Amino acid sequence: MADKLLEIKDLSISFGEGKNKNVAVKNANFDIYEGETFGLVGESGSGKTTIGRAILGLNNVESGKILFEGNQINKKLSKQEEENVIRNIQMIFQDPAASLNERATVDYIVSEGIKNFHLYKDEAEREEKVRDMIKEVGLLPEHLSRYPHEFSGGQRQRIGIARALIMEPKLVVADEPISALDVSIRAQVLNLMKKIQKEKNLTYLMIAHDLSVVRFIADRVAVIHHGVIVEMAETEELFNNPLHPYTKSLLSAVPIPDPQMERSKKLITYDQNHDYENDKPSFREITPGHFVWCNDTEESNLKK
C-alpha cells in the first residue's frame, strides 16, 4: 500500500459564534494515499470547499488535525515548514475566470509561484520551465504574452492547472475544476488532469458535486452531507454497494426498496440539534475500506 500523504483526523470547522454558530465540518476523518485520486462529493453547502481550504491553511480549524507527510500543518509553522506546504499543496479553483489575474500575462501568472520561491537559477531556466509547462497543458508558447480574457473557459482552466503544477506539488486540491466549464470540454480537462497525474505521480483531492465526475476520476470517494462524512469507500464499491441513505439518494433519484435500504433508512444524518451524547454515532468500518457514519445498533445491523 502507498504511503499516506494527507491525514485528516477528527477535523471540525465552524463559522460564527453562539446562536449564529454554523458547524461547517464535523469530525471528518480520512486519509489520502500517495498517487491516488480521492473524491469528496456532496451538495452545495455540505462543507467540501471548507475542508479543501483548511488543507491549504485558508480556514481556521476548530479542532482536529491535518497531517501532511506525517507532520501536522494546522498549527503555527516555521517559515521553512510553511514554504514546504505552499510548494507541495496547490489548488485548482472552480472558476478560472475569477481566479486568474486579468491584468497579468499568462507568463506572469504561471511564473508567479516559482518566482516567489526562486525555483530556477536564471531567466533562461524560468522561461524554459514556463514554456514546458504551458505545452504540457496543451497551450502554445505564443500564448504566454496574452491575457486571460483572450482565452476560452477551458483554456483558462489549463492556465490555472499550469500555475498550480509548475510548483511541482505532491498534492493538488481541485475544487470543482470543471463545473464552470462548457460541457463539451469537461472531459478534455479531466483527461488532461489524469494524464499529468500519471506522468508526475500526483495525488489529487477532487472536490465535486457531480457523481459522474468522481466516478470517472477517483479511486476512493467520501460522501459529505451537512458537514459530516457519511460514507467512504473505493469508488466502484461505493457506486455498487452504497450503504448510507444519503449516498443512495445521491446515486438514485428513485430509492431502491431492497432489505439493505430498509436497514439503512434509520442511519443518522448529522443534525445540529440532535443529542449525540446518548447516540454516539461515528465513522465506522463496515467491510474492509468501507466506512459509514452510524451508531452501535446501526453498525451491527449493517454487518448482518
Q: Which residues bind ligand ATP (CB under 6 A)?
A: 15, 22, 24, 42, 44-50, 209
Minimum distance of ligand ATP from residue 208's CB (angstroms): 9
In the complex with ligand ATP, the residue whose CB is nearer, 40 or 286, is: 40
Distance between CA 57 and CA 86 in Å, rounded? 9
Using N-to-C axis directions, what is the helix angle for 183-200 and 153-165, rounded to 10°?
20
Minimum distance of ligand ATP from residue 20's CB (angstroms): 9
Q: Counting Cβ atoms within 10 Å, is residue 174 exposed (0-12), middle (13-18) or buried (19+)?
A: buried
Longest dimension (CA), the chain: 66
Contact 178, 171 (CB under 8 A): no
In the complex with ligand ATP, the residue whose CB is nearer, 179 or 295, is: 179
- Cell numbers standing for residue 263: 436497514
In the complex with ligand ATP, the residue whose CB is nearer, 50 or 111, is: 50
Minimum distance of ligand ATP from residue 272's CB (angstroms): 11
Minimum distance of ligand ATP from residue 207's CB (angstroms): 7
Q: DSSP code of 173? A: E
In the complex with ligand ATP, the residue whose CB is nearer, 7 or 176, is: 176
Distance between CA 258 and CA 243 in Å, rounded? 11
Phi, psi values for residue 203, rounded to 5°: -115, 135
Minimum distance of ligand ATP from residue 116's CB (angstroms): 25
Which residue's C-beta sits nearest to ligand ATP? Answer: 49
Distance between CA 65 and CA 55 in Å, rounded? 10
In the complex with ligand ATP, the residue whose CB is nearer, 58 or 140, is: 58
In the complex with ligand ATP, the residue whose CB is nearer, 126 or 244, is: 244
In the complex with ligand ATP, the residue whose CB is nearer, 15 or 117, is: 15
- Cell numbers standing for residue 265: 433508512
Pairing status of strand 4-15 against strand 63-68: antiparallel
The strand order across the sheet containing 71-72 reads 22-33, 4-15, 63-68, 71-72
3-state secondary structure of 290: strand
In the complex with ligand ATP, the residue whose CB is nearer, 46 or 155, is: 46
Minimum distance of ligand ATP from residue 204's CB (angstroms): 16
- Cell numbers standing for residue 290: 468501507
Please give the single-letter amino acid code of residue 230: V
Where is 274: in which H helix or E strand?
Answer: none
Minimum distance of ligand ATP from residue 46's CB (angstroms): 4
